[in-house]
A and B are shown apart, each in its own frame.
Chain A
Amino acid sequence: EAQVTQNPRYLITVTGKKLTVTCSQNMNHEYMSWYRQDPGLGLRQIYYSMNVEVTDKGDVPEGYKVSRKEKRNFPLILESPSPNQTSLYFCASSRGDRGRNEQYFGPGTRLTVT
């Protein structure tokens, strides 16, 4: 089954404790992206990757890091989480040729930073 998986689904942590949210897709997609969802703001892009070893900032990259060492994986790293990073996070992937391709979303990771 074609899918995007994220782990963990739920995470409660404290300010400053480094964490990683994993994302994996099994569709051989070139493009992967992270979004955060906040009430009334919709989804905003954090980082994206066009292919292995190619990453770039989205609209709200501050406080986040990513890496793309393998095509299927695109982890999101919070080196020193803060309460304003409490949010619902989604990973997405699509084929690399641009424009009209559907993006497939993971189930989401709800992060709470206290």
Chain B
Amino acid sequence: GDSVTQMEGPVTLSEEAFLTINCTYTATGYPSLFWYVQYPGEGLQLLLKATKADDKGSNKGFEATYRKETTSFHLEKGSVQVSDSAVYFCALKKAAGNKLTFGGGTRVLVKP
């Protein structure tokens, strides 16, 4: 079946450091890919998405590129802030359905 694997955390960074969270997927066909962010005590919010190969999703300084050849969707940000401390989830959705398949989540802690 479909699956998403992302790097385990926690990832601890200093402010203004570069952030990368790796995400790879296994799925048939051409899924859409998503990054969701969960701030402490809150629900999930969509951070960015890409719906086809080579698409780049971007939002709030975060970027991720849909790489079909490596089945990856790594999340990057060039200069993190304390307010980026959260749990990040990579997810996929098949074109034929609404179900999201999530990775295990990566907790990011940014220190001043």
Tell me the A residues contacting B by CB distance below 8 Å: 4, 31, 33, 35, 40-45, 48, 50, 58, 90, 92, 94, 96, 98-103, 105-108
Nearest B residue to A91 via CB reads B43
Q: With A102-B46, A106-B43, A107-B43 as known contacts, state yes or no: A42 contacts B99, CB within 8 Å.
A: no
The answer for the CA separation of A105 and B96 in the assembled complex, in Å, is 21
Task: Note all chain A residues with C-beta closer than 8 A to B45.
Answer: 105
Q: List 16 A-B contacts (CB under 8 A).
A: A33-B98, A35-B102, A40-B105, A41-B104, A42-B103, A42-B104, A43-B44, A43-B102, A45-B99, A58-B99, A99-B32, A99-B94, A99-B97, A100-B51, A102-B46, A107-B42
Interface of B is mostly: loop
- Contact call A105/B44, Cβ cutoff below 8 A: yes
* Chain B residues with a Cβ under 8 A of chain A: 4, 8, 32, 36, 42-46, 49, 51, 89, 93-100, 102-105
Query: Is the pair B98, A101 in contact by a Cβ cutoff of 8 Å?
Result: yes
Asked whether, in the complex, the Cβ of A90 is within 8 Å of the Cβ of B99, the reply is: no
Please tell me which one of the listed residues A4, A98, A107 contacts residue B97 in the complex, with CB atoms under 8 A apart. A98
Inter-subunit contact A48/B93 (CB<8 Å): no
How many whole Å from A39's CB to the nearest CB in chain B? 8
> In the docked arrangement, what's the CA distance between A13 and B80, Å?
40
Q: CB within 8 A of B104: which of A40, A48, A94, A101?
A: A40
Which residues on A sit within 8 Å (CB–CB) of B89? Answer: 42-43
Q: Identify which of B4, B36, B93 contacts A99 (C-beta below 8 A).
A: B93
A31 to B105, CA, bound (A): 24
